[in-house]
Amino acid sequence: MPSRKFADGEVVMGRWPGSVLYYEVQVTSYDDVAHLYTVKYKDGTELALKESDIRSQSSFKHRKSQSSSSSPSRRSSSRSRSRSRSPGRPAKGRRRSASQSREHKEDKKKTVQETSIALPVLVLFKPSENNTKRYNGEPESTEKNATSCIILEQKLKPDLEIKRMLEQYSLRSRKDDKKKEEIYSEKKTFVAVKPIEKVSTKTKEMEFGGRIGTFMLILLLPATVFYLLLMCKQDDPSLLNFSPLPALESLWDWRVFGVILLWFFLQAAFYLLPIGKVVEGLPLSSGRKLQYRINGFYAFILTAAAIGVLLYFEFELHYLYDHLMQFAVSAAAFSLALSIYLYVRSLRAPEEELAPGGNSGYFIYDFFTGHELNPRIGSFDLKYFCELRPGLIGWVVINLAMLLAEMKIHNLSVPSLSMILVNSFQLLYVVDALWNEEAVLTTMDITHDGFGFMLAFGDLVWVPFVYSLQAFYLVGHPTTISWPVAAAITVLNCIGYYIFRSANSQKNNFRRNPADPKLANLKFIPTATGKGLLVTGWWGFVRHPNYLGDIIMALAWSLPCGFNHILPYFYVIYFICLLVHREARDEHHCKQKYGLAWERYCQRVPYRIFPYIY
């Protein structure tokens, strides 16, 4: 085993994770087992770094004399037009070898380039091939960076145009940060265009209560689904009014299981159709980008056509209502089998393809949270497919079956107003998700969580069978609401939807193309990883505006069920708990990813989900 290269207390240059920015750090300790150095940045941030992410100060010396940047948050305000501090800048010697006149021309060209960077810095954020080729350069130190990450250190002239441009970004120097001043004094921006390899794929902190918590959840989640479905079928669905449990053999029907299989493979066939565009996901930790086919909305249309044909031939869709529990049991069995398959195959997956959150080394934990990040069979992405199709479209079909069952059981010529509202609101939600399918590629489920029992059960059982609870409830517990009440609930749903959609689109567009002119009025805080954090618009209102909109909608879905029982409110109560917990998880990840920049964001936007409350 090679001995450690840097001693405790030594001041060295440490790479900021996810970028090729190096900052002055002090080594505080060394972990012999993990071979990681704990280092402290000047702003107090402590991180564990690999030896390959640390360099001696001498390799930076000549640049250091020109740079004052010493922490991720610190930016120099030098007025010099030289780019000499950039690790991405060609070495001086190399530049001098050009002829005088060429150098002059180059200088002129540079001047034009710098003044005309109406090319706002944001354009450079775009990880396009062109940018990569154009700005790629070697670090001045002789040691070649093993990663293909590019860093740009762009000096901006304080002319009016640049000033106007800077107004859009909330870049603040560290000194100024204390005074909470805006960025006008700042003329320099670091841009990392492409992320690099991760520091370590091992999960250090377990979530969901660790091994015991995840074990309990594996038992508790299916039990909750069955309990809710049993309660919903009772005349009096009061929470403590238990009815005798059904006989075990009544829960299983091979025909129902066959329908579940048929449904899953039909949706898989739709997914494989070569219709719809193919897009790239966000860069993985290796820098690679996976491709995804966007055809969820087409799958929905085809499914609607298939259901239309079945209804035309008088297929009794309320069969679903009569056998809902059996369908849930079959779907649960299928999701369990899928989870086992996912875990077994993940054991052969290379380390860099494992999920950052599901690689603890403990079977139960990794089985639950998902060991492999993007399990694929060829180009068939299992997680992405399950996220929006079988479960989400299945939810709409179950809702429709409930609507037809209500009409049949209560002998109605038209469904009740409550049933129409619940069906329409939830249909809008599903259609919206499928229409904006691309947005799912920037969500935590895709970028952070592995594919294991949590998502397999969540996508294939929890979503279709728990989210359709209101419609199921209304079949057995008719609720009459007046038109004005219906109108008020509709307005509430529209408000929630508007917040949810515009917040998600704003973030998604910003992540995909920060230079999008539609986002020109938004400000953001730059981070050392090259990604920005929006601080105006919806993301400046609260830290998770999309959750706020989602919760408002969840309430609007429960209200048509009246106030006789709490059961139809299970969804909104559970959803608040889920999103509060999810928000805390996301904050934790963002704090790790963005360090000080995230703290600044939290200072600027103090409320998490509910303005002035939480």
Q: Which stretch binds ligand NDP (CB under 6 A): 35-43, 63-71, 192-200, 437-445?
A: 437-445
**Binding of residue 547 to ligand NDP (CB under 6 A):** yes
**Binding of residue 546 to ligand NDP (CB under 6 A):** yes
Question: Do 391 and 463 meet the contact criterion of CB atoms below 8 Å apart?
Answer: yes
Q: Output phi, psi for 391, to 5 deg.
A: -75, -45
CB of 434 to ligand NDP, least distance (A): 13
What DSSP letter does each residue of 407-450 carry, written as one string?
Answer: HHHTT-SS--HHHHHHHHHHHHHHHHHHHTGGGGGGSHHHHT--
525-544 footprint of ligand NDP as x/- string (CB under 6 A): ------x-xx----x----x
Please say which residue, 317 or 463, places its beta carbon nearer to ligand NDP: 463
Please say which residue, 381 or 586, places its beta carbon nearer to ligand NDP: 586
Please say which residue, 318 or 531, places its beta carbon nearer to ligand NDP: 531
Residue with the closest Cβ to ligand NDP?
443
Binding to ligand NDP in span 253-282, by CB under 6 A: none
**Binding of residue 557 to ligand NDP (CB under 6 A):** no
Binding to ligand NDP in span 573-592, by CB under 6 A: 582, 586, 589-590
Binding to ligand NDP in span 19-58, by CB under 6 A: none
Beta bridge partners of 291: 280
Q: How far apart are CA 351 and CA 34, in angstroms?
A: 15
What DSSP letter does each residue of 93-138 carry, written as one string?
Answer: HHHHTS-HHHHHHHHHHHHHHHHTTTS-HHHHHS--HHHHHHH---
Q: How far apart are CA 182 and CA 165, in angstroms?
A: 13
Please say which residue, 56 or 536, places its beta carbon nearer to ligand NDP: 536
Binding to ligand NDP in span 438-457, by CB under 6 A: 442-445
Of 504, 559, 572, 608, the one binding ligand NDP by CB under 6 A:
504
**Binding of residue 285 to ligand NDP (CB under 6 A):** no
Please say which residue, 437 or 586, places its beta carbon nearer to ligand NDP: 586
Q: How far apart are CA 273 and CA 267, in angstroms?
A: 10
Please say which residue, 409 or 444, places its beta carbon nearer to ligand NDP: 444
Give 130: exposed, middle or buried? Use CB within 10 Å, 0-12, 13-18, 19+.
exposed
Q: Which two tokens stand for residue 241?
A: 């009014």
Please say which residue, 283 or 478, places its beta carbon nearer to ligand NDP: 283
Total residues binding ligand NDP (CB under 6 A): 22
b/e burial code for range 533-556 (CB count within 10 A of at least 16 → b)? bbbbbbbbebbbbbbbbbbbbbbb
Helix (H) or strand (E) holding 37: strand 36-41
Q: How far apart are CA 418 and CA 415, in angstroms?
A: 8
Please say which residue, 86 or 506, places its beta carbon nearer to ligand NDP: 506
Q: How far apart are CA 516 and CA 249, in angstroms?
A: 58
CB of 507 to ligand NDP, least distance (A): 5
**Binding of residue 507 to ligand NDP (CB under 6 A):** yes
CB of 251 to ligand NDP, least distance (A): 25
**Binding of residue 15 to ligand NDP (CB under 6 A):** no
From residue 486, give the alpha-carbon distance in Å to each of 417, 430, 557.
Answer: 8, 21, 11
Q: Determine how many CB atoms are found less than 10 A away from the CB of residue 579.
A: 20
**Binding of residue 126 to ligand NDP (CB under 6 A):** no
**Residue ranges in contact with ligand NDP by CB under 6 A:** 442-445, 500, 504, 507, 510-511, 531, 533-534, 539, 544, 546-547, 550, 582, 586, 589-590, 601
